Structure 1
Amino acid sequence: MSHISNILVTGAAGYIGGSILADFLSRPDLIATAKLHAVVRSEEQAQALSKLSLNVLSFKLEDEAAVAAAVEQNKIDIVIHAANSSDDLLVTNLIQALGRRRTTSGKRVYFIHSSVTTLFSEEAGWPYGMLKDTDSIYEREKELGGSHPIRKANLLVVDKAQECGVTSFNVVVPNVYGRGKGEWRKVSILIPALIQASIRLGKVHKFDVDGHPPATHISDLVALYGILVDKILQNEDIPSGKNGYYFAMAHRAPWWAYMQAIAKSLHARGLVADAELEIWPSDEAAAKALQFPAQFIRAMGTASGGLEPVNPRRLGWQPVWNEKAFLESADGEVEDVLELDTIRTGIFDKVMRPATD
């Protein structure tokens, strides 16, 4: 390309956003054609990222004027939105700012949104069964309506991007595991919560149904984001908008077997009484222990879902990690949580009330 593209990553201090940045910064080919900008929420996070070769910005994504100014002043062409999958205000502000940027620059602009696979499970109210990411997902989500905050955001990404002349993509993120490469949060959300709850209770629990949800190692996930950005920088015409769903699924996660491996690891460290699993007495008890919203805990803990990633494979995505490697990683996940997980995520704070007494 004859110009430098400017990429803005939201959630840059988070597990996924931070790992995306680390991956991009490690690639001379990408850095040669793109300048990276990162959005963080606090001065402490800004200082942690300041040593990197990128432009660190600290402002609230809820502030429409601040978002518009950041996009225009830094000539942002591509936004990778990894900060929140369910806040439609953030989506609106970012896409509208990109739309104005397209008008002033005459260049194509792109919005890469991060959604979640749990939304497409029966436990979360998905009635259509087996699903490929090349199916008419947008139309089916439209039929169901936007009552679910994440579905509402998915639909808004497509509709608002079309309205504003922005090319959009929905990367549908599964359960993610493995140590991240970012400067701030280096572990995921669900698995650390399961481990921490087990330590507090002195016992490892499982749900009454053995879920087998989609899963992906963090390194494989960020590789998919990298492929999408590469295609954009090369001006390749790839599925977008209504057709731009990308299931980032590498394999399935057999929860009962994985929790048994977690129990074995915690018991060997003397952190739980024994390596036997107990069934959660209720979904409400699980939600309280895990500090997750009770209305979504069933889908998070028991969902399987029939998803098949087609679009990522067509782009050349080849995940390295598989189910066997996932099960073998349980002890390493415990070690990472014990060492690293000191920063609470605020992912649920805005759109749902956490479980309480």
Structure 2
Amino acid sequence: MHSKIKAHIFLTGATGYIGGSVLTRLLSHPRSETFRISVLLRAPEKATQFRKMGIHAVVGTYEDLDLLRQHAAKADIVIQCSDVAGLPAAKALLDGLKERYDRTGKASSFIHTSGAETLTDDSRGIHKSDTIFSDLDTAQLASLPCTQPHRKVDRTLVDADQQGYVKTYIVLPTMVYGKAVGPLVDAGLQNPRSRYIPQLVEAALTRGRAGLFGNGANIWCHVHIVDLVSLYILLVDAIAPHDPSEGRSRSRQADLDDPPSRPRTPVVLDPTYLTHGEQGFYFAENGEVSMLTLAEAIGDAMVDAGNATDPNPSSFTQEEVETEQCYRWVADSLYLDCNARCKADRARKVGWKPKKTTKDLLASIKQELKSSNQS
């Protein structure tokens, strides 16, 4: 048994779909007894519930920059999983990590959640793109302009890494799907549903027919929530302080997907590819799908469930997109008229082995439809 805390982790987005799933895996991690986990929460009543679970809960928002700085200054690892944490929050977290470095001489690690939206183009659903980004192609990623979504924050982290006081690891999820499960969901503390596919399903139910942008020729990559979380855990295993006497062992994907009941040693990753900063971008994808194929699957599921008589999707009208005539979901899904194609080459090189495929993505739509019908 481990008795000494070796890693202080400060996690943001603990009640969200991704952040809550990462936290759930950290709580069941073989080395969980060596972690001291702090989370940022907006609601005091939720903080009380988290504390009962042995998690240090800090009440505040992403506008409380001094609070972010103070808690980052205590952390060995910051894991940023909130999609509302913008540039000011990122800078505050970095300021805290700089303060810790100045005080201790130790460079903390920052695992930041970006997103494949940074790759999107202006296809408007009319055509697919032949450009496929690789997380091993540093020059290709560096060519993305700061006008792209997430780029200002991503570049700020890379610049901080170059200054030497922090090691930054930037995870770029693609279209995440699948229902989140675990004690946080059971307690009503975590959002269990993803964003994009439920939005398209809700839109289809409201308009009575599956919808798409343009002709749906554009393509997005995808990743299941379980596979995505295993990438975060891989990175945590690699960078969290640990007792050298524990030794090293070969990476075992089974340990990532189904943590053993007793502690295991950290996974071994190829040091050639486990990099940070400018070369520390990690895509999370395991296949891709056109928006037409996705919309057709929604249409078929609606007919099967009795929600529609015509399985063929139709294009969202300009009025639907611009004025939200029927629903707010369409306006929130505008990135789905773009292409976002990539390959998780670096992630796989360090030992990530996602299991869920495009077949699983399309099969998940019936469950999303059922959840929407019940809500």
TM-score tier by shorter-chain length is 0.7 to 0.9
CA distance in 2, matches of 1:63, 1:255: 39
Larger CA deviation: 234-243 vs 185-194? 234-243
Q: TM-score, normalised by structure 2?
A: 0.79
CA distance in 2, matches of 1:100, 1:293: 43
- Structure 1 partner of 2:179: 179
Shift of 1:339: 4.8
Matched, 1:140 2:143: yes
8 Å contact from structure 1 (residues 30, 230) kept in 2? no
8 Å contact from structure 1 (residues 85, 115) kept in 2? no
8 Å contact from structure 1 (residues 6, 36) kept in 2? yes
3-state SS of 2:54 partner: coil
Shift of 1:267: 3.1
In structure 1, list runs of 5 or more residues that go unmatched.
Answer: 341-357
- Structure 1 partner of 2:6: 4
- Structure 2 partner of 1:206: 212
Shift of 1:47: 4.3
CA distance in 2, matches of 1:271, 1:339: 13
Change (3 A) 1:167 1:24: same
Shift of 1:70: 2.4
Query: How many matched pairs?
Result: 331
Shift of 1:62: 2.2
CA distance in 2, matches of 1:52, 1:337: 30
CA distance in 1, matches of 2:303, 2:76: 50
- Structure 1 partner of 2:371: 336
CA distance in 2, matches of 1:154, 1:186: 26
Matched, 1:99 2:98: yes
Q: TM-score, normalised by structure 1?
A: 0.83
3-state SS of 1:213 partner: strand
- Structure 2 partner of 1:228: 235
CA distance in 2, matches of 1:96, 1:124: 38
Matched, 1:118 2:124: no
Shift of 1:307: 1.5
Percent sequence identity over aligned pairs:
25
CA distance in 2, matches of 1:115, 1:21: 17
Shift of 1:157: 1.3
Matched, 1:190 2:225: no
CA distance in 2, matches of 1:154, 1:292: 27
Change (3 A) 1:77 1:191: same
Change (3 A) 1:37 1:327: same
Larger CA deviation: 255-264 vs 12-21? 255-264
Matched, 1:318 2:321: no
- Structure 2 partner of 1:23: 25
Counterpart residue identity of residue 25, structure 2: D
Deviations 1:2-40 (A, max 9, x none): 75101111111100000101111122x230322211112
CA distance in 1, matches of 2:153, 2:358: 30
8 Å contact from structure 2 (residues 107, 164) kept in 1? no
Deviations 1:29-57 (A, max 9, x none): 23032221111222244345344231121
Change (3 A) 1:56 1:272: farther
- How do 1:1-357 and structure 2 match up within 5 A? 3-27=5-29, 29-72=30-73, 75-84=74-83, 87-123=86-122, 129-136=131-138, 137=140, 139-141=142-144, 144=145, 146-163=146-163, 165-181=165-181, 182=184, 183-207=189-213, 208-233=215-240, 238-282=274-318, 285=321, 288=324, 291=328, 297=334, 300-339=335-374
8 Å contact from structure 1 (residues 253, 326) kept in 2? no
Change (3 A) 1:246 1:287: farther
8 Å contact from structure 1 (residues 98, 109) kept in 2? yes
Change (3 A) 1:286 1:276: farther
CA distance in 2, matches of 1:78, 1:285: 40
Deviations 1:88-129 (A, max 9, x none): 11110111111111222332301111111132133389x993
Rg bigger for which structure? 2
In structure 2, list runs of 5 or more residues that go unmatched.
Answer: 243-268
Larger CA deviation: 129-138 vs 194-203? 129-138
Counterpart residue identity of residue 15, structure 2: A
3-state SS of 2:219 partner: coil
Counterpart residue identity of residue 163, structure 2: E
Shift of 1:294: 5.6
Please, what is the CA RMSD of the aligned residues?
2.8
Change (3 A) 1:275 1:153: same
Change (3 A) 1:39 1:337: farther
- Structure 2 partner of 1:345: none
3-state SS of 1:168 partner: strand
8 Å contact from structure 2 (residues 216, 291) kept in 1? no
Change (3 A) 1:247 1:294: same
8 Å contact from structure 2 (residues 17, 194) kept in 1? yes
